[in-house]
Amino acid sequence: MSNSPFPDRARIDAHDKVCGRTTYSADLHFPGLLHAMTVPSTIAKGWLTEIDGAAALAVPGVIRVLTPADMPSPGDLTDAGRPLPMLEAAIAHLGQPIALVVAETIEAAVAGAGQVRATYREAPFTVAFDDPQIRCDDTPAPTLGNADAAFAGAAVTIEATYTTAANHHNPLELLSTTAVWNGGKVTIYEGTQASNVVKASVARSLRVAASAIDVVSRQVGGGFGQRGEVQRHTALVAHAARLVGRPVKFVMPRSQIFHNARFRPNVRHTVKLGATAEGRIVSAHYDTLQQNSRRGGYRADWYHAGPSRIYGIANYKGTSGDLRLDTPDPGQMRAPFEHPAAFAFESAVDELACRLRRDPIELRMLNDTKIDPQNGKWLTSRTLNACMTRGAARFGWSRRSPEPRSMQATDGAALGYGMAAGVYQAAMHPAIATLRVSANGATHYASAGHEMGQGLRTTIAQALLAHLPIDESRLSIVVGDTSAAPQHVTAGSWGTASSVPVAIAAAERMNAAMNEFLDGRVVPGNMHEQLARLRRPYLEVEVAMFAPGQGREHVARLRSGGTTIAGLHGTYPDFTCLSYIAHFVEVCIDRHTRQIRVPRVVSVADCGRVVSPRTARSQLHGGVVWALGAALREKSEVDARYGGWLNADLGEYFVPVNADIGEIEVELLDQPDYDANSAGVKSLGEIAMVGVAAAVTNAIFHATGVRVRHLPVRLEQMLL
Ligand code: MOS
């Protein structure tokens, strides 16, 4: 295997995307296709006592109205095997679908949905995060050493509470599902990160064998956790298509996405740090309290994964709680736990540096570690110091005068420099790949993975083209299709580390197969030409690969559609493997308007070997932009009167626009980590945004002397 860096290459799908030729799930058309629209609940909690579809059925073009009465009965399924409900009378949150209208046209479906009459019995509900009445559950969280004693004995301590707001995903591509039955089998076209999970879940919901279902998710127009599980409507649409005997397409309006899709919950974080007079952190307490739904399983304890490892703190005490509200299930959203946790923890470290009058980089370097304090295992390629050193040089950190309010921009704006760091798990899953090189010039490759715009196909192409003399223009890479290869959820930033080593192994196996076929004959040309000259239609290989600590049983689990991740939280049997990042942010606070601007960000990351420099840099840019949104713009507001989300559209949910974004310089160390896997690849997608928000508020503190402990930062907090 070659150890050299990969060349820069344009996205293999760039031309199609720019020309509008890329086809997303909802772009597909099928003969006889019907359109569906959901009817959202108008109450926040209670029971649907009556539902009347007669007026909807009278709308020309409407052919069926599905209500809870049309759902398959749960039968003898146990609670554990019970599928996600499709339509049910019990209402758990505002906007929960209560009916599905199927019609000849989208217009008729929408008009019909507006005519469905529902009667409810309302129940009291709670949606506000600060309601003192609500139920709180505790989940065990990591505890190491004796944090209380170490805190009591610390020379310097700080304690602060931070809050991070609920945020919603707003990718360009709306959620959609199209179901097409053929005989007893159904194909579901849906932009998902989890085609295998969708397959298994729909099978359970519809009481059919998984072998009767294929899920096709060739392109996802943005997926960072919103599409990491099955959607509630997926099986419903497939059920509707089965009942009416025609293909059915459902595209969820954006306002309903706010009420039905997974979101980042409100979180309250309290951090206490104790340090020696020199700045060695000897104790950390970190208490998290997150918003959850009444029965939601979103993990409350995962906020601790980063803070408990990043600085090798031997005495750590974490707690994690859920506030149970009548809002929808929260769920993954880019760096789901790591971004909010890093905002709190990296702010606290900055507060400690200020208290100690130490440079925040020096303080972090003083707390460097080679060992994962959680389990005593060694940290492979621990490069945080290198990221900070490189970032500081590139940013010009040495120009910073340490005192708050001591720097000014040329226009008189208060100028601040801030920095923060981040870690993220380097995880993997097994993969099975098939590779066929044909005499006619085509190469066909299929494996697990989902293309969510992050550039997975380009990354796989990089791996194949580095090792195979083939025609790039006729290379087709199929991912996200359960009929082409066993699929696995693509999330947790394990995409590249899971898809590239197997691609390289497949290329090497292909080279070996070619050599065996040539058997010493010297034939000119690339592989296609060699095969053509020797009249061999194609060569095909299949390769299976698994992660450190995994074995054949994990490959078998993948084949049967299961989820099987190695390196969760970076933990492997013999080591801990993390990616690292350091962010440097410049802010300007206008003298008169107090508007906050971020003219410049420098981010330096270590994701191991960089397989696709173009898309890797793009991931970093995107992560920084997303974090600037979280830091300065995005907040999903609840409506305490009626439940649900108040600003459920892009007019009132503010995301950053081009004018909000200044210069973003990104750099990757590009040092392979061969302990992680044979390609030396770690993780990148999520770490890109870990720590940015704290770097912003640390810079705001430096500019103004105001410590903002709440996200998003609002202009009024800058009024002194
Ligand atoms: Mo990512 S939030 O695990 O899709």
DSSP secondary structure string for all residues of 548-594: TT--HHHHHHHHTT----BSGGGB-SSEEEEEEEEEEEEEEE-TTT-
Non-local CB neighbours of 383 within 8 Å, separated by 6+ positions: 580, 606, 669, 671
pLDDT over threshold 70, residue 50: yes
Residue 72 has a pLDDT of 85
Q: Is 334 in the pocket of ligand 1 (CB under 6 A)?
A: yes
pLDDT over threshold 80, residue 1: no
Residue 73 has a pLDDT of 76
Reference 660, options 686, 690, 630; nearest CA is: 630
pLDDT tens by residue, 488-533: 999 999 999 999 999 999 999 999 999 999 999 999 999 999 999 9
pLDDT over threshold 90, residue 720: no
Q: Is 430 in the pocket of ligand 1 (CB under 6 A)?
A: no
Q: Is 228 in the pocket of ligand 1 (CB under 6 A)?
A: yes
Q: Is 332 in the pocket of ligand 1 (CB under 6 A)?
A: yes
Residue 124 has a pLDDT of 96
pLDDT tens by residue, 183-199: 999 999 999 999 999 99
Residue 598 burial (C-beta neighbours within 10 Å; 0-12, 13-18, 19+): buried
Contact call for residues 288 and 345 (beta carbons, < 8 A): no
Q: Of 262, 334, 579, 687, which is best to mutate to test ligand 1, by the most ligand atoms within 8 angstroms of its C-beta?
A: 334
Contact call for residues 584 and 395 (beta carbons, < 8 A): yes
pLDDT tens by residue, 311-350: 999 999 999 999 999 999 999 999 999 999 999 999 999 9
pLDDT over threshold 80, residue 619: yes
Residue 2 has a pLDDT of 58
Calpha distance 482→588 (Å, rounded): 50
Q: Token digits for 245?
A: 């005997």
Contact call for residues 629 and 655 (beta carbons, < 8 A): yes
pLDDT tens by residue, 364-403: 999 999 999 999 999 999 999 999 999 999 999 999 999 9
Q: Is 330 in the pocket of ligand 1 (CB under 6 A)?
A: no
Q: Is 249 in the pocket of ligand 1 (CB under 6 A)?
A: no
| Portion of the chain with pLDDT greater than 90, in percent | 95
Secondary structure in 3-state letters for 67-119: CHHHCCCCCCCCCCCCCCCCCCCEECCCCCEEEEEEECCHHHHHHHHCCCEEE
pLDDT tens by residue, 591-616: 999 999 999 999 999 999 999 999 99
Calpha distance 117→113 (Å, rounded): 9
The region that residue 615 occupies, defined by phi over 0 for left and psi between -120 and 50 for alpha, beta otherwise, is alpha
pTM of the model: 0.97
Q: Is 154 in the pocket of ligand 1 (CB under 6 A)?
A: no
Strands 185-189, 213-216: pairing kind: parallel
Strand partners, 269: 162, 288
pLDDT tens by residue, 89-121: 999 999 999 999 999 999 999 999 999 999 999
Q: Is 491 in the pocket of ligand 1 (CB under 6 A)?
A: yes
Calpha distance 413→701 (Å, rounded): 14
Q: What number is the average pLDDT over the span 213-237?
A: 96
Calpha distance 598→505 (Å, rounded): 44
CA–CA distance from 434 to each of 444, 499, 524 (Å)? 8, 12, 25
Task: Report which residue type is found at 376.
Answer: G
With bands split at pLDDT 50, 70 and 90, how would you rate the model's confidence at 4? confident
Reference 223, options 493, 20, 552, 4; nearest CA is: 493
pLDDT tens by residue, 119-140: 999 999 999 998 777 888 899 9
Atom nearest to 226 CA in ligand 1 = 4
Non-local CB neighbours of 336 within 8 Å, separated by 6+ positions: 225, 264, 302
Q: Is 224 in the pocket of ligand 1 (CB under 6 A)?
A: yes
With bands split at pLDDT 50, 70 and 90, how would you rate the model's confidence at 678? very high
If you measure from the C-alpha of residue 686 to the centroid of ligand 1, how many angstroms do you get, rounded to a whole number? 7
Calpha distance 427→700 (Å, rounded): 34
Residue 160 has a pLDDT of 98
CA–CA distance from 529 to each of 358, 367, 526 (Å)? 64, 58, 5
Residue 132 has a pLDDT of 74
pLDDT tens by residue, 18-44: 999 999 999 999 999 999 999 999 999
If you measure from the C-alpha of residue 336 to the centroid of ligand 1, how many angstroms do you get, rounded to a whole number? 7
Angle between helices 456-467 and 613-632 (to 10 degrees): 160
For tokens 């005593």, the residue is: 376
State the virtual CA torsion across 176, 689, 680, 544 in degrees, nearest 10: -20
If you measure from the C-alpha of residue 598 to the centroid of ligand 1, how many angstroms do you get, rounded to a whole number? 26
